Structure 1
Amino acid sequence: MGFRMDVERFDELLTELQKNYRIYAPVLLKGKGRYSETDTIRYAEINSIKDVVFDKKSVFSPKEVILPITQTLFYFTEDNVIEPKVDEKNILIFLRSCDIHAVKRLDEIYLRNRFADSYYAALRTKVKFVLMECEKSFENCFCVSMGSNRTDEYDLFVRLEDGKVYVESKNETFDGLFKDEENAEVSPKFVLENETVVKIPENLDQRVFKSKMWDEYDERCIACGRCNFVCGTCACFTMQDIFYKDNPNAGERRRVWASCMVDGFTDMAGGHSFRKKYGERMRFKVMHKVYDFNKRFGYHMCVGCGRCDDICPEYISFANAVNKLNDAMKEVE
Structure 2
Amino acid sequence: MNGVEMQKVLVADDDAVNREVLGELLKPEYTVLLAKNGAQTLERAARHQPDLILLDVMMPDMDGYEVLRRLRADPQLEHIAVIFISGLDRPEDEASGLKMGAADYIVKPFNQTVVMARVALHLQVVRQRRMLERLANIDGLTELANRRRFDEVYALEWQRARRGRRALSLALLDIDAFKQYNDRYGHPAGDRALRSVARAAAGAMRRPSDLAARYGGEELVLLLPETGALEAGQVLSQLVDAVAALAIAHEASGVAPVLTASVGGATLEPGSQESLAALFEAADAQLYRAKQTGRNRVSWRDADLDQPDAIPYSAAP
TM-score band w.r.t. shorter chain: under 0.3
TM-score, length-normalised on structure 1? 0.23
> Which has the greater radius of gyration?
2
Greater helix fraction, Structure 1 or Structure 2: 2
TM-score, length-normalised on structure 2? 0.24
Pick 1 or 2: higher relative contact order, CA cutoff 8 A, min separation 6. 1
